[in-house]
Amino acid sequence: MITETEAQRTPADLITDAKELRQQVQSVVRDTPVIDIHTHVFPPVFGDMCLSGIDDLLNYHYLIAEVFRSTDVSYACFWKMSKFERADLIWRILFVENTPISEAARGVVSVLDEFGLDSRAQNLKEARDFFNSRNLLDQVDWVLETARVSDVVMTNDPLDEIEAEIWRNGGNPDRRFHTSLRLDSLLNDWPDAARILASQGLHVNTGLSGSTIAELRRFLDNWIKRMRPLYLAISLPADFKFPDENARDRLIHEVVLPTAKQHDLALTLMVGVRRGVNPTLRAAGDGVGKADVTALERLCAENPEVRFLATFLARENQHELCVAARKFNNLMPFGCWWFLNNPSIAAEITRERLELLGPTFIPQHSDASVLEQLIYKWRHAREFIADALSESYEKLLKSGRAATREEIERDVTRMFSGNFREWVGVKSSVARIEGVS
């Protein structure tokens, strides 16, 4: 309840009406630019890695997983099809013969809606004609503007030969697209990585002996100099342990953490994926597993000067991640990753993060793989974020404190960009561990 005294003493622009408050929150969340801190989107200079248009949208691996639940087309037959034939099949099955009510299918509808295209079309002619008529460079501008995405962080793998060649020929001139140095290939399949690196002339061996560690430090130093990443990143399996008795553990201890410290780079951990649960689905074949959040706690405790960004894939790990972030202020939870990026689950995760962490987390990343997905992933995310945030301010109002629009803008800006800017820009902010001076 707002007392007469407080109303006299405090800013005239206090929002004391719940309906007005919800409208103000929705307007701020809708209009505040966001830094998309993890995506698989690339600018046109990356050639075929830059995916755009209706055929790429429909060949998204989320939709490939779903189409096989409604067709008797075999995996072998499906993969023999062209991208266009696969898109025709997915459109017919998921959008014509069935109602596109899944989140990934609804996402395509949201994109078509944004461009004024018919999402009830019987075929893809109109959509293909439209996207083929768009200039890709203009499309990038239009999509980022429409989605109100100020910056995109790519996923960049120095061991991907196609990408490495692009970097050797000049790399990325578009300053809206930032890099992250992705280390999965190096850490999660070390024998194969060792073979590739040895073929590139590095003196490395699978036993990690001799000059191997020094060579890997030099390899990362060179790619950091070339790519100028905002952070180092690794996805880790559900059974990830720290410490552990394997090559990945030695690489984390002796290469990744020292490199993060030397270059003052944040380290992003994405934990809980079970790769290749159904290999015949290819990129659509990965699954989820409950992971051990104590491994992350030990990483944070043993490396207080490293800033960690972390997201977990299992819904069951979300509350533990919030509690871990309360214990370690060098840990920044982010995103409702992949199978969690569904409004019903993302809403729950966002509410518990607001209750446990206030505005000290990053609510979402898109994980977009196709340029136009930025439109739907952020349209949908802004809906569940606005709902959760409205509830927080409404509860605060009921407890006796009204908010101003300026305060709502401050809080949303912090979550949409400020927390990330602080994590990737501040020099050697030495984090304190709760309970230890």
Q: Which two tokens stand for residue 161?
A: 């030969």
Rounded to 5 degrees, what are φ and ψ at 433?
A: -95, 130
Q: Give the closest residue to 377 by CA, choosing from 387, 395, 365.
A: 365
Under 8 Å between Cβ of 196 and 248:
no
Among positions 100-159, residues that touch ligand FIX (CB under 6 A) are: 155
Q: Give the closest residue to 237 by CA, choosing from 269, 208, 267.
A: 269
Q: Check binding of 75 to ligand FIX (CB under 6 A).
A: no
3-state secondary structure of 376: helix
Rounded to 5 degrees, what are φ and ψ at 279?
A: -60, -25
Q: How many residues sit close enough to ligand FIX to count as binding (CB under 6 A)? A: 8
Q: Of residues 119, 338, 348, 418, which one binds ligand FIX by CB under 6 A?
A: 338
Under 8 Å between Cβ of 200 and 222:
no
CB of 312 to ligand FIX, least distance (A): 12
Under 8 Å between Cβ of 356 and 326:
yes
Please say which residue, 286 or 367, places its beta carbon nearer to Zn ion: 367
Please say which residue, 283 or 426, places its beta carbon nearer to ligand FIX: 283
Q: Check binding of 283 to ligand FIX (CB under 6 A).
A: yes
CB of 61 to ligand FIX, least distance (A): 6
3-state secondary structure of 207: coil
Q: Check binding of 320 to ligand FIX (CB under 6 A).
A: no
Q: Check binding of 36 to ligand FIX (CB under 6 A).
A: no
CB of 200 to ligand FIX, least distance (A): 24
DSSP 431: P
Among positions 372-391, residues that touch ligand FIX (CB under 6 A) are: none
Q: Check binding of 259 to ligand FIX (CB under 6 A).
A: no
Q: Of residues 36, 103, 163, 367, which one binds ligand FIX by CB under 6 A?
A: 367
Q: Of residues 15, 22, 28, 40, which one binds ligand FIX by CB under 6 A?
A: 40
Please say which residue, 55 or 103, places its beta carbon nearer to ligand FIX: 103
- Interface residues with Zn ion (CB under 5 A)? 367
Beta-bridged to residue 370, according to DSSP, are: 51
Q: Give the closest residue to 295 by CA, choosing from 324, 318, 334, 322.
A: 324
Query: How far is residue 222's CA from residue 290's CA, in Å, rounded to a whole number?
Result: 35
Please say which residue, 22 or 38, places its beta carbon nearer to Zn ion: 38
Contact partner, 236, from Zn ion, ligand FIX, none, Cβ < 5-8 Å per class: none
Give the x/- contact pattern for ligand FIX in 229-248, rule: CB under 6 A: ------x-------------
Q: Give the closest residue to 396 by CA, choosing from 416, 375, 418, 411.
A: 411
Contact partner, 224, from Zn ion, ligand FIX, none, Cβ < 5-8 Å per class: none
Query: How far is residue 358's CA from residue 410's CA, in Å, rounded to a whole number?
Result: 13
Q: Which residues bind ligand FIX (CB under 6 A)?
A: 40, 155, 235, 270, 283, 338, 367, 369
